[in-house]
């Protein structure tokens, strides 16, 4: 993926404010921070979303997210954190390289909880939705046998 800006950051082809790096992941400050210390954690391998990331790297990505959170807690000293992934264009993903946002939060910073990014409550009762999801799990299990 020659064009991808986050691949270029991972490969040190363009500058970034890196704050942590290991074999498979890297963390750097967001260029357009929503809060002081707003950081991104990415796998070095180009994948668009979690589903396409190998399980071992998924766990590493979240271990590094925890490390960076601790690092920001001790340096920036926020009151809280919002941690999230925009997955897919409809969810606001502009850079198609998976990235975890770690956003330090402060008292009266004007932000809301992650649930405030969408207001689209379902028409069906959640018991029906739960049943539908469990049914699809059964179907998927049968198909993967």
* Residue of 38, 46, 99, 143 marked catalytic: 99
94 binds ligand 5GP (CB under 6 A): yes
**Which position among 97, 100, 102, 104 is part of the footprint of Zn ion (CB under 5 A)?**
97
Q: Are 72 and 33 in contact (CB under 8 A)?
A: no
Residue 5's binding partner among Zn ion, ligand 5GP, none (Cβ under 5 to 8 angstroms by kind) is ligand 5GP
Tokens of 53: 């990331």
Helix, strand, coil percentages (3-state) for the chain, rounded to 5, are 40, 15, 45
Q: In what order do the strands lie in the sheet with 100-105?
A: 18-21, 25-29, 39-43, 100-105, 80-84
- Which residue bears the tokens 């926020």? 78
For residue 38, indicate whether it is catalytic.
no
Residue 46 as a binder of Zn ion (CB under 5 A): the answer is yes
86 binds ligand 5GP (CB under 6 A): yes
Task: Find the binding residues for ligand 5GP in span 18-47 (CB under 6 A).
Answer: 28-32
Q: Is 49 in the site for ligand 5GP (CB under 6 A)?
A: no
The single residue listed with the structure tokens 């590493």 is 60
Note whether 95 binds ligand 5GP by CB under 6 A: yes
Compute CA distances 14 → 4, 5, 6, 31, whole Å. 11, 8, 9, 12
- In the list 45, 58, 67, 93, the residue contacting ligand 5GP (rule: CB under 6 A) is 93
Report the interface residues with ligand 5GP, using CB under 6 A. 5, 16, 28-32, 86, 92-95
For the annotated catalytic residues, the residue numbers are 99
């Amino acid at each position: 993926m020659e064009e991808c800006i986050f691949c270029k950051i991972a490969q040190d082809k363009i500058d970034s404010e890196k704050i942590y790096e290991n074999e498979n992941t890297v963390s750097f400050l967001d260029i357009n921070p929503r809060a002081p210390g707003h950081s991104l954690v990415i796998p070095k391998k180009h994948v668009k979303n979690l589903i396409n990331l190998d399980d071992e790297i998924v766990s590493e990505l979240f271990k590094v997210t925890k490390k960076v959170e601790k690092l920001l807690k001790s340096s920036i000293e926020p009151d809280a954190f919002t941690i999230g992934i925009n997955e897919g264009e409809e969810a606001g993903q502009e850079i198609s390289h998976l990235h975890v946002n770690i956003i330090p939060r402060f008292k009266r910073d004007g932000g809301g909880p992650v649930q405030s990014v969408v207001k689209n409550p379902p028409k069906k009762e959640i018991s029906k939705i739960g049943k539908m999801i469990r049914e699809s799990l059964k179907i998927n299990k049968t198909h993967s046998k």
